Structure 1
Amino acid sequence: MRTQVHEIAAGIYRLSTFVPGIEAPAGFTFNQFLVLGDEPLLFHTGPRRMFPLVRDAVARVMAPGRLRWISFGHVEADECGSMNEWLALAPHAQVAHGQTACSVQLDDLADRAPRLLADGEVIDLGGGKRLRYLDTPHTPHAWDAAVLYEESTGTLLCGDLFTQLGNGPALVTGDIVGPAIAAEELFRYSSLNPAMGTTIRGLADLAPRTLALMHGPAYEGDGASALRALADDYDRRAGRPG
């Protein structure tokens, strides 16, 4: 396997590893996102066994030891399995996440104390990059779920939202909602709850121009419409009107 590197928005790089054996023949991608700045941030680390691949991909963009921040959608192996390997490699790096993840998991799991982020708090990376932390509990799953929004490029780092199969282009402008609905039908990975649609519509209010998917291509276009369509589908599944 080799991790591919593509710039999907100014100073934001998608690091993508395709694993053909998952739901073959379609396969499945595991994506991380490197946001450059004076204090670079990695969103998702990948699992521990992928650490050498992700480290070498980061090295094609910058010196890995310069990494300052590590964040992710929620505490799960593919989101943060190699966070301690990154903390060992980058001496000034620190994990950053919300109250639930820090108090329930990260205060114990991370080899250095994490930075606790309040809902809506911004990490200023310098160089014009500002990442806003947003709690999305149980959306699409996990009590500690969250996303990051990069304000200068209008990029929403979506975590597991819009998960889909396959290994398409790094950046697309077509439909990402249909493939996400198909993946939900297959995996049943979301924690369906009455608040899901409302939570996702709150993200739509950001009007993101780029959606950075953890499992699937990045999307460029009307992110608000895509998010609202996804919210409608979850409302349908939860038995709520849109």
Structure 2
Amino acid sequence: MSSRTARLLQLLEALRTRRHAVSGQTLAGEMRISLRTLYRDIATLRGQGAQIDGDPGVGYLLRPGFTLPPLMFSEDELEALILGARWVASHAADPELAQAAHGVMNRIGSVLPADLRLAVQTSGLFVPPCDDLHAIAPAPWLPALRRAIRDEHALRLDYRDEHGATTQRRIWPFAMAFFDRARLIAAWCELRQDFRHFRADRVVALVNTGEHYPERRHALIQRWRVQFNYPLQN
């Protein structure tokens, strides 16, 4: 990545973190560049589609919704994306998610400049296959569970516990953890009136009710983190 591209990326990040207009003098001071260079960079970003309100002497504010094109990623960021996508493709035990991971790598590669595209295609970062094949056997309910989490839908499921007993539950799924040997769903259980964790490989039957559960996912996650003393994310 050229120094100018890196500087434009830094400027976008500086604007993205502001909720109110920030003066050009402040931005130039933070980035250690001249005001003239800052004004030129603002004009460049506007030309690339960034909706930046403001003028010299007034201040600048980036409107929400602008997405960085992949070619703006740094080498470290690209390597992180590649490594993460390769892990998902080989370890998620979710064929739909694995296909999506391959699609991400193909899409990123298709829009990168030639030198970065070659770096992606020949990256030396690999994810070895899991030694325990049983640990990554496809779990048929994972796509349905992910969609329910994304859509904030309540689920009815038949669930088999560790002793083989099956119970019927209605849950509000809000998170999923991908461990080496299990995929764990975090949910509010209407039967227990509390948070519960369910292994995807113990789900016997599942029906998406199509009904939104009464709380928002982010609120459930926050309550769950507090109850289980997990660090709250910013």
| TM tier, smaller | under 0.3
- TM-score, normalising length from structure 1? 0.24
- TM-score, normalising length from structure 2? 0.25
- Structure having the higher strand fraction is 1
- Structure having the higher helix fraction is 2
Which structure has the bigger radius of gyration?
2
Q: Which has the higher contact order (CA 8 A, sep 6+)?
A: 1
